[in-house]
Structure 1
Amino acid sequence: MERELKYVDMVEQPISMHPKKFALWLFMVTVVMLFAAWTSAYIVRQAEGNWLEYDLPEVFWITSGIVVLSSLALQWAYFSAKKDNFANLRTGMVLTVLLGIGFLVGQWYSWIALVDREVFFVGNPAGSFLYVITGMHALHLISGLLFLIIVLISTFRLKVHSQAMNTMEMATTYWHFLGGLWLYLFMFLLLNH
């Protein structure tokens, strides 16, 4: 007796991601590559000698604390959105935006402290690298703040809630990424300046 073999095509569910989220992840990978290149170049150039020795501004410690607090505030807002707790959602978003602005102000004061220590953008490459790395992070942080402000406005229009979390998820992902990036950069600079 001959047996018949039956082939059943199993349709697999493809891994899917919202196109905007996918674009955000691609952008973040690009940013990681950019900062990896700069930090690698920093190490290579530092090894060549003629490197200005200076102390990092103390305000970097404060801005690092601010960025951690801003991530905590945003995570609280995210959880509040999932529970449709609009008062906490708005409060968390406002706190995150204010802390983000505080971070940028702190970064500005770090540049003032660098100038006071005679570390300039031009001249020794040590200063140039520091200004480029912190300046580019600040530029990305500004883009993150603009995104947060858009989400904040959406929260007041009741467009962010448990059934509409896409923009909130993207803003949270990007902001945590920027916070983690800053902590990496700060540790890198502490260990390599």
Structure 2
Amino acid sequence: MSLYQDVTRKPWNTVGLPDGIDPKPTFNVSNEKLALVVFVIVASVLFSLLCVSYFIRMWFGGGDWLPIALPSMLWVNTGALVAASVAMQVAVVSSRKQGHGDKSKSPWFLVGGVLTLGFIIGQFTVWQQLTSQGYILQSNPANSFFYVLTGVHILHLVGGLWVWSRALLRQVRKDASHDISKSIELCAWYWHFLLIVWFALFYLVATN
């Protein structure tokens, strides 16, 4: 190449990468994992705002805050969610031993989802117990916050169960177009996150 061509060359007008340079991703992470991280950040902000609002209303709300007598069923529900999170983690370990791909199967993945369904049913049972005792939504700010906090948490679990059900269906169908082990791992991460959130919410409503 002549000196004139070197001087007059405009690399910014070149389409694509220069010769000898291979394209590399900006983040060394899958799209699914990145989406989960972003969603967890957004959900964390949401729960944080709800908790801050809870404290502000409790301490500066004008003295109309009446604590809720929490049913013992909440402890049973907490145990179910802990067991579900443990089952999800066991499923991850089992899928890693089997290898990545569509052949990754673990009955613990099914157990984790079933236990989560049990937790949700248990939460609705707690709601029924509280309403039968007169702790209805409109009667007191503490009641309203309890139903909102636990309801939003249930909605996040339902969303997780939707993803879980799709991954479970791929296992049953032996869908080779998806990496089942990756789905199991992402579900486990999400379950651990929601377990930590529930610990925080449970502590919050139990110490009001």
**Normalised TM-score (structure 1):** 0.84
Check 1:149–1:121 CA distance in 2 against 1; reply closer, same or farther (3 A cut): same
CA deviation string 1:32-75 (max 9, x = no partner):
11111111111110112210122112111011100010011111
Match of 1:80 in 2: 94
Structure 1 vs Structure 2: percent identity of aligned residues? 31
Gaps of 5+ in 2: 1-23
The answer to whether structure 1 residue 188 and structure 2 residue 200 are counterparts is: no
Match of 1:120 among 124, 136, 145: 136
Separation in structure 1 between the aligned mates of residue 43 and residue 124 of structure 2, nearest angstrom = 21
Larger displacement relative to structure 2 (30-39 or 119-128): 119-128
Match of 2:53 among 35, 41, 53: 41
**Normalised TM-score (structure 2):** 0.79
Cα pair 1:21 1:170 within 8 Å, conserved: yes
Match of 1:66 among 55, 58, 80: 80
Report how many residues are paired. 180
SS of the counterpart of 2:98?
A: coil
Match of 1:4 in 2: none
| Aligned-residue offset at 1:118 | 1.2
Match of 2:10 in 1: none
- What value does the CA root-mean-square deviation take over the aligned residues? 2.4
| Aligned-residue offset at 1:123 | 2.8
CA deviation string 1:153-189 (max 9, x = no partner):
22223348xx753222211111111112111211121
Gaps of 5+ in 1: 1-11
Tell which structure's C-alpha radius of gyration is larger.
2
Match of 1:7 in 2: none
Match of 1:31 in 2: 43
